[in-house]
């Protein structure tokens, strides 16, 4: 297949690109390098040094002989979105090209507005480009489990059968997201579902849990192929952050009592899930939703797992929760469709955590401890510049 990966320079976009290339697909990437710009803005950077995108592409070509086409531009530019679809003519488009951090979207008005404009408008431009160029292209969009919130019922895979006043219907699962970022993902999903229903497009929405891990089989082939490893309180995922805190002797900072439950997935399973979705496309007119997780744990349980695996003393510290969320809640997520397509999950284990310890020890000198503490408060709207 020909597969275009949008946001191909990012934490997940880059290893997905390599995984699809290694699987025999012809791959192109597009990126505007906004994620690298956020580092400059926030004064932090990936724990693991990362090469420029063009350099990484050259290394992959050197190792494998496989070419990866590269486009540089912004999806909020409708002409750019149309051009890359028209030129590359993909069979599938993997859409990672969005601002992905809930805390970033909650910094102030400017960051909330930027997040929604970037994510929603870019996604709309992509839908129009596909509809105008080739409606048979399969859109695989990365969503988030956080869009569902924490309802007091089981979370189904995108749809819910309801009965009301004696009548039945199938409706999109009701969502109560917890940040302006998560709201942008809800808007994306509604726009994509509408486009499938009205324009007869085909799309798969991958509502993914918290990703952990630093390497895939492809990125491990050469250190110059490394992907990002974020640890700060704005972009760092919680398990990765706990690992770094343990290694540098910092308390593991649990927000509140830690009863908040998170769906989780290994980065190796993320790239495999995307491959499965691309190779088994939705039907024309179909908007399908896969809940892309392999297990779930409370934040406190994640901290305890890291503390138990670390060969040394670790202290867990409870901080006032800067987010507005339930301290303890029901959580049961249906996630069968990717298993049915052939996913064989990697579950969290001491072996994986220990491998993360090794990566962190190697680059511990790059950690900025002050970046680990939360600096964005959901409860106090701030004026943006």
CA 102 from centre of chain: 11
The question of whether 185 is a catalytic residue gets the answer yes
User: In which order are the strands placed within the sheet that holds 287-292?
Assistant: 68-72, 26-31, 2-6, 92-95, 138-144, 202-208, 287-292
Nearest to 170 by CA among 179, 157, 161: 161
**Rounded CA separation 8/6 (Å):** 5
Catalytic residue among 96, 104, 148, 181: 181
Which strand (E) or helix (H) includes residue 246? helix 238-247
Q: How far is CA 368 from the centre of its chain?
A: 23
Are residues 73 and 119 in contact, defined by beta-carbon separation less than 8 angstroms?
no
Report the half-sphere exposure of 122 (CA within 13 A, side-chain side). Answer: 23
Tell me how far apart the alpha carbons of residues 157 and 139 are, in angstroms, rounded to a whole number. 17
Distance CA 86, CA 166 (A): 48
Task: Check if the beta carbon of residue 302 is closer than 8 Å to that of residue 239.
Answer: yes
What are the CA-CA distances from residue 67 to residues 47, 70, 71, 80, 348 (Å)?
28, 10, 13, 22, 34
| Cα first-last separation, the chain | 44
Residue of 17, 148, 185, 360 with catalytic role: 185
Output the six-digit token pair for 131.
Answer: 């509809």
Residue from 17, 133, 144, 261 carrying the catalytic annotation: 144
Give catalytic status of residue 148 as yes or no: no
State yes or no: is 2 an active-site residue.
no
The residues that are catalytic are 144, 181, 185
């Amino acid at each position: 297949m020909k597969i275009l990966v949008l946001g191909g320079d990012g934490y997940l976009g880059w290893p997905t690109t390599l995984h699809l290339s290694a699987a025999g697909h012809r791959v192109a990437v597009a990126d505007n390098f906004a994620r690298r710009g956020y580092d400059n803005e926030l004064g932090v950077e990936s724990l693991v040094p990362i090469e420029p995108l063009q350099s990484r592409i050259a290394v992959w070509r050197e190792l494998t002989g496989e070419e990866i086409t590269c486009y540089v531009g912004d999806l909020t530019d409708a002409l750019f979105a149309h051009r890359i679809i028209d030129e590359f003519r993909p069979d599938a488009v993997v859409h990672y090209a969005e601002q992905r951090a809930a805390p970033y979207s909650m910094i102030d008005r400017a960051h909330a507005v930027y997040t929604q404009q970037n994510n929603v408008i870019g996604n709309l431009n992509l839908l129009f480009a596909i509809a105008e160029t080739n409606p048979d292209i399969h859109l695989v969009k990365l969503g988030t489990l956080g869009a569902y919130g924490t309802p007091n019922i089981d979370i189904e895979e995108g749809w819910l059968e309801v009965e009301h006043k004696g009548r039945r219907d199938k409706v999109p699962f009701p969502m109560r997201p917890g940040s302006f970022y998560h709201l942008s993902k809800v808007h994306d999903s509604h726009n994509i579902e509408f486009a499938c229903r009205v324009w007869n497009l085909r799309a798969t929405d991958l509502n993914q849990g918290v990703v952990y891990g630093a390497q895939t089989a492809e990125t491990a082939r050469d250190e110059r192929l490394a992907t990002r490893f974020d640890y700060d309180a704005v972009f760092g995922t919680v398990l990765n952050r706990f690992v770094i805190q343990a290694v540098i002797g910092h308390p593991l900072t649990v927000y509140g009592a830690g009863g908040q439950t998170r769906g989780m997935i290994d980065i190796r399973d993320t790239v495999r899930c995307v491959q499965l979705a691309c190779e088994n496309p939705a039907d024309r007119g179909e908007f399908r939703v896969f809940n892309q997780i392999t297990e779930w744990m409370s934040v406190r349980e994640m901290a305890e797992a890291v503390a138990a695996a670390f060969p040394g003393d670790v202290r867990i510290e409870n901080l006032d929760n800067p987010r507005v969320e339930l301290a303890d809640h029901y959580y049961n997520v249906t996630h069968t469709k990717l298993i049915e397509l052939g996913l064989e999950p990697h579950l969290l284990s001491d072996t994986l955590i220990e491998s993360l310890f090794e990566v962190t020890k190697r680059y511990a000198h790059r950690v900025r401890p002050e970046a680990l503490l939360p600096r964005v408060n959901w409860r106090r709207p701030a004026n943006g510049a």
